[in-house]
Chains A and B, each alone.
Chain A
Amino acid sequence: MRFNYEVIDNNLILQLDGELDHHVAEKIRLDMDELISKKRSKNLVFDLKGLHFMDSSGIGVIMGRYKSISKMGGKVAVIHVSEKVDKIFTLSGLYRIVEKCENLEEALNRM
């Protein structure tokens, strides 16, 4: 698993690539937090287009980032969600706090 990022105005876009499980989650959340504090972006968009596998560890990663972003008044969105990942997000109730959008344009409009 690796991730790239892009900054558009007040928004940090994290593009996840590979498989997200417990093993990867431990490291990647530290890298993400470092980037989030460095960029000081208000909102966060997770682009899951390149995510080939995710188990419930992914929910923890997104919810954890949501906690710090929402504390500062920001929003979190997920885009390009596959059917399988959508099922896990729905089960966990993630969409009660995180916006699900088709693509980046829609996500930026809703921020």
Chain B
Amino acid sequence: MEYKNHMKLEFDSKSQNEAFARVVVAAFAAQLDPTLEEIADIKTAVSEAVTNAIIHGYENKLGVVTVICNINNKELEIVVQDNGRGIEDIQQAMEPLYTSKPELERSGMGFTVMETFMDRIDVYSELGKGTSIRMVKNFKSLNAE
């Protein structure tokens, strides 16, 4: 039996919402009967993506961050979008330890963590328009009903 579900979340680009976003996505994923490790993986990945939108997309100015989740059987797709400044060089941004803001004590490991904890990640970005990070995770649980 095919199972699908969808949700969309919008919030201000405030760092207080990093915890809010990862908890909401984890709660939505609960219907996939995930293991504790799977929940921790998606919470960490969402935290990284939302932090990127706030620090790099909007550079701490006020904007809207959108998180969209789609469940397709045992697969969870998470899309984190901003309408901020965009990424000039995506390949460089994704390199481990690269950070465009060393003065902020950022480790440059955000994308590496997302890649490690999720099964797939795609980044779309346009300068002046924004960035969209799409991440996919396949859950091992058997029933999503």
Interface of A toward B, CB cutoff 8 Å: 19, 21-23, 25-26, 29, 53-57, 59-61, 63-64, 83-84, 87-88, 91-93
Contacts and interface: CB of A to CB of B under 8 A. Distances in A.
Interface stretch (B43-51, B62-70, B132-140): B43-51
A29 B105 contact: yes
Interface residues on B, range: 20 to 34
A92 B107 contact: yes
* Main SS class of interface, B: helix
Contact of B105 (A23, A63, A91): A63
Given A55-B44, A84-B40, A91-B116, A22 B55 contact: yes
A34 to B, nearest CB: 16
A62 B143 CA distance: 40
Contacts of B116: 87, 91
16 contacts: A21-B15, A21-B47, A23-B15, A23-B19, A25-B105, A26-B15, A53-B44, A53-B47, A55-B51, A55-B110, A56-B113, A57-B106, A59-B107, A60-B107, A92-B109, A92-B112
